[in-house]
Amino acid sequence: YNSGLLKFRKIGSPSKPEWGFLTPIESMQEIPFDVKRIYYIYGVDENEVRGKHSHKSLHQVLICVHGKVDVRLENFYGNETYTLNDPSVGLYVGPDNWREMSNFQNDAVLLVLASEKYDPNDYIRDYDEFIEHNQKRYGVKK
Ligand code: TYD
């Protein structure tokens, strides 16, 4: 599979709940690639849909560090919608996933860890081209 949820550590202090939590993420430990870039998406209107593209070779992990957002992934294996609302959970999104982020809530902040620097040539922004690309790469869906 080229996508799925990751559960990170959530370090707290049971005897001191006011201390809060800390979630550490290290390259090649908690996530399966070296991080070369981070960015975050925020201030998105509830009715807005972001993404609507796939990547040819980029690996990413999406973490909703505040609030809540829905992420729909479509890939060779199927179609799945994940609700991200826990800073200790990451959604691994490998190459060849069409992604759409919607229903941004509560001033959501979506943190993205990426395996490569920004490269516009790695994007497929046309849905039909995405389908064609995946058929060439994985074969026609039965
Ligand atoms: P885009 O990836 O299209 O955003 P989304 O898919 O979340 O809606 O990027 C939006 C704009 O930001 C686009 O003009 C490219 C630019 N951008 C960068 O310059 N560097 C980056 O690392 C990213 C992710 C985007």
pLDDT digits (tens, 9 = 90+) for 36-69: 999 999 999 999 999 999 999 999 999 999 999 9
How many helices (H) and strands (E) are present in the chain, helices listed first? 1, 8
- Using left for φ > 0, alpha for ψ between -120 and 50, and beta otherwise, residue 30 falls in alpha
Nearest CA to ligand 1 atom 13: 120
> Measured from the CA of 125, which atom of ligand 1 is nearest?
3
User: What's the pLDDT score for residue 82?
Assistant: 98
The pLDDT of 80-101, averaged and rounded, is: 98
% of the chain at pLDDT higher than 70? 99
Shortest-distance atom of ligand 1 to CA 53 = 6
Give the three-state DSSP class for 103: strand
Q: Is the CB of 51 under 6 A from ligand 1?
A: yes
Q: Which residue, by CA, sits nearest to atom 6 of ligand 1?
A: 51
What is the rounded distance in angstroms from the CA atom of residue 51 to the CA atom of residue 69? 12
